[in-house]
Structure 1
Amino acid sequence: MSEKPSEDYHAGFACLVGRPNAGKSTLTNALVGQKVAITSSKPQTTRHTVRGILTTDHAQLVLVDTPGLHKPRTLLGQRLNDVVRETLLDVDVIGFCLPADQRIGPGDTFIARELAEIRQGRRRPVVAIATKSDRVDKDRLAQHLVAIDQLGDWDDIVPCSATRGDQVDTVAEVLMSHLPVSPQLYPADVHTDEPDAVMIAELVREAALEGVRDELPHSLAVVVEEITPREGRPADKPLLDVRVNVFVERSSQKAIIIGRGGSRLREVGTNARTAIEELLGQRVYLDLHVKIAKDWQRDPNQLSKLGF
Structure 2
Amino acid sequence: MLSEMSLIPQSPEGLKSGFVAIIGRPNVGKSTLMNELIGQKVAITSPVAQTTRNRLRGILTLPQAQMIFVDTPGIHKPHHELGKLLVKNAQNAIKSVDLVLFLVDGSVAAGRGDRFIEEFLTPSPTPVILGLNKIDQQPSEAKDIAILDNSYAEMATPHNWPLAKFSALTRDGIDNLLSLLQQHLPDGPYYYPPDLVTDQPERFIMGELIREQILHMTREEVPHSVAVSIDVVEESPQITRVLATIYVERDSQKGILIGKQGSMLKAIGTAAREQMQKLIDGQVYLELYVKVQPKWRQSRHLLADLGYRVDKD
TM-score category, normalised to shorter length: over 0.9
The superposition leaves residues 28-53 of structure 1 with CA deviations (integer Å, 9 ceiling, x where unpaired) of: 00111110100001111001111111
Map of 1:32 onto structure 2: 38
Could you say what secondary structure the match of 1:214 adopts? helix
Map of 2:243 onto structure 1: 243
Shift, 1:117, TM fit: 2.2
Map of 1:142 onto structure 2: 146
Is the 2:8–2:190 contact (alpha carbons within 8 Å) kept by the matching residues of 1? yes
Residues 32-181 of structure 1 aligned to structure 2 (within 5 Å): 32-118=38-124, 123-138=125-140, 139=142, 140-152=144-156, 153-181=159-187
Match for residue 195 of structure 1 among 183, 193, 201: 201
Which 5+ residue runs of structure 2 have no aligned equivalent? 1-6, 309-313
- The worse-fitting range, judged by mean Cα deviation, of 10-19 and 143-152 is 143-152
The superposition leaves residues 208-237 of structure 1 with CA deviations (integer Å, 9 ceiling, x where unpaired) of: 11132435232111111110125xxxx4xx
Normalising by structure 2, report the TM-score: 0.92
Q: Given the superposition, is the C-alpha separation of residues 178 and 293 from structure 1 closer, same or farther in structure 2, using an over 3 Å criterion?
A: same
Residues 219-258 of structure 1 aligned to structure 2 (within 5 Å): 219-230=225-236, 235=237, 238-258=238-258
The superposition leaves residues 147-205 of structure 1 with CA deviations (integer Å, 9 ceiling, x where unpaired) of: 11112424311111111111112212211211111121111111111011110011000
Normalising by structure 1, report the TM-score: 0.93
Q: Given the superposition, is the C-alpha separation of residues 154 and 290 from structure 1 closer, same or farther in structure 2, using an over 3 Å criterion?
A: farther
Could you say what secondary structure the match of 2:218 adopts? coil
How many residue pairs are counted as aligned between the two chains?
Answer: 298
Paired with 1:148 and 1:178, the residues of 2 have a C-alpha distance of 20
Read off the aligned partner of 1:151 and give its amino acid letter. Answer: M
Is the 1:133–1:141 contact (alpha carbons within 8 Å) kept by the matching residues of 2? no
Is the 1:223–1:244 contact (alpha carbons within 8 Å) kept by the matching residues of 2? yes
Paired with 2:221 and 2:69, the residues of 1 have a C-alpha distance of 29
Is the 1:45–1:217 contact (alpha carbons within 8 Å) kept by the matching residues of 2? no
Is the 2:221–2:256 contact (alpha carbons within 8 Å) kept by the matching residues of 1? no
Q: CA RMSD in A?
A: 1.4
Map of 1:292 onto structure 2: 292
Could you say what secondary structure the match of 1:172 adopts? helix
Read off the aligned partner of 1:143 and give its amino acid letter. Answer: I
Paired with 2:12 and 2:48, the residues of 1 have a C-alpha distance of 43
The superposition leaves residues 82-109 of structure 1 with CA deviations (integer Å, 9 ceiling, x where unpaired) of: 1011111010010011112232211111
Could you say what secondary structure the match of 1:218 adopts? coil
Paired with 2:47 and 2:234, the residues of 1 have a C-alpha distance of 32
Is the 2:48–2:219 contact (alpha carbons within 8 Å) kept by the matching residues of 1? no
- The worse-fitting range, judged by mean Cα deviation, of 208-217 and 24-33 is 208-217
Is the 1:226–1:244 contact (alpha carbons within 8 Å) kept by the matching residues of 2? yes
Shift, 1:142, TM fit: 2.7
